[in-house]
Amino acid sequence: MKIAVKVVLIIILGGLVPVGIFAFLTPGLIGSLQAESFKAIDSFGGDVAKNIGDKAEGYLFKSGEQTVMKIAQENAIYLRALIKAKGIKTIQELASDPDIQALGKHTWYGKEYVWIAGVFGDRDWRLLVHPLGSEVFKKHVDHDLKWYDKYPDLRPVLEGSARGGTATQNCGYYTFGEVYGSPAKKYLCNVPVGIELLDEDTGQMIPIMTGAGAYLDSYFKDITASEQLPGKTISDEIITYVNSAKDSVKASFSKAVSQINMYLAIAIVVILVIAGIATYLVAVVVSNPLIDLAKSAERIGKGEINVEIPHRGRDDEIGVLAESMEGMRRSLEIASETMKEM
Amino acid sequence: MTITYEVLLEELRKEVGPLAKTFLDKAMDSLGISDINEGNYRDVIEVLKMNPAIRKYIGNVEKRLESSQ
């Protein structure tokens, strides 16, 4: 095999083998990197979705609580104005007024219950107007109606509104009925009206308060996909963005793979070009001079001992070889002339 | 440069190739010397010049040795 061919093979093998190994390993490495990235995105996205979802759910419930309190406060303002406008002085007049009774049956968006109550003593909280009607008038929610037995967590909310025999703003949750197949919490707020009315039966002045209670999830049904789990809607949206980010990362990796493949193709072309240039240089610098020297040696072998040995002026291995050949040629020449003289 | 047998042989080998040792040893035999030094290398060169086949090459060796002194 000619030297030039061998050199080309060495260059091609030396260049293409690493490129081939790189091309073989790269898809695996990129795939692994991509999987790790997806794992990190999923982990991060999952954490963010859960934390933000929980946080958002907390804010939604706080917002719902504020809504219930605002309804109660607005009712208090409206009721005070109504009582003053109608000149109502006693709780009996209050209970028999159709406009005020209508107020007790009013509901807003969140299936609220609205009532008007009086504070008859320390923690003595009694209904005056309620959706249940006149049958609960002046009834104590515990002694008469036994509601604290049925709804134990109602006690701190109602007693807190009548502590010390005064009407005090107080809010809280209590369990009432079932929603989504499990006991449901209602949020209620009692707010002082700022008016005292005479109880004609006892001659006692009774501080008046009004309140509202609601299932907060009712407020969520039009602003989230799931009124039961409003935070989950936000989590799902975040997961959608996370998946979108994964698609984006996937596209970036695909682009990177395409670029690497293009670079590999360029590298192969460059190696082939270098191999071509090397072939030319080896032919010019090494092979052709060796062929010239071989031809000179062949002519000497045929008896042409006066032949000129080429490439003697070179300062490389070819030059050394040419000088050696020239020395041997001269020896042959001298020996030949000496023999002629004998 | 100190002239020795090896130095002279190398210079001769450059000019006349593998036969240099044969010519050098023969010239030393004819002079009856067993080593080359500053004092006798010119005699050796003169003997070598007597061979017309290598005279021009010996001239080259002589010039190089003289210039190196």
Residue B1: how many CB atoms within 10 A of its CB? 10
**CA A241 vs CA A38, A223, A236, A237, A326: distances in Å:** 13, 19, 9, 6, 83
Separation in Å, CA A30 to CA A16, A24, A111, A327: 21, 11, 57, 63
Chain A residues within an 8 Å CB radius of B56: none
How far is Cα A64 from Cα A279, in angstroms, rounded to an integer?
A: 83
Neighbours of A205 (CB within 10 A): 14
Show which of residues 5-64 on chain B sit within 8 Å of chain A, judged by CB atoms.
13-20, 51, 53-54, 57
Residues in chain B closer than 8 A to A332 (CB atoms): 17
Closest C-alpha among A204, A190, A193, A195 to residue A88: A195
At residue A125, the pLDDT reads 93
Quote the CA–CA distance of A330 and B57 in Å, as a whole number. Answer: 10
Chain A residue with the nearest C-alpha to that of B51: A338
φ, ψ dihedrals at A54, nearest 5°: -65, -45
More confident residue, A149 or A246: A149
- Are the C-beta atoms of residues A95 and A137 closer than 8 Å to each other? yes
Provide the domain limits for residue B57. 5-68
pLDDT of residue B53: 85
pLDDT digits (tens, 9 = 90+) for A238-295: 888 888 887 888 888 888 888 888 988 898 888 888 888 888 888 888 888 999 999 9
- The tens digit of pLDDT for each residue in A281-339 reads 888 888 889 999 999 999 988 888 889 999 998 888 999 999 999 989 988 988 888 77
C-alpha span between A191 and A77 (Å, rounded) = 10
pLDDT at A177 over 80: no
CA distances A221 to A56, A225, A227, A239, B48, Å, are: 15, 7, 5, 21, 122
Give this complex's ipTM: 0.73
Q: What is the reported pLDDT for A196?
A: 97
Token code pair at residue A175: 């369990």
- Per the structure, the count of domains in chain B is 1
Residue boundaries of the structural domains of chain A = 67-228
Contact criterion met (CB < 8 Å) for B53 and A328: no
CATH 3.30.450.20 for domain A67-228, yes or no, is yes
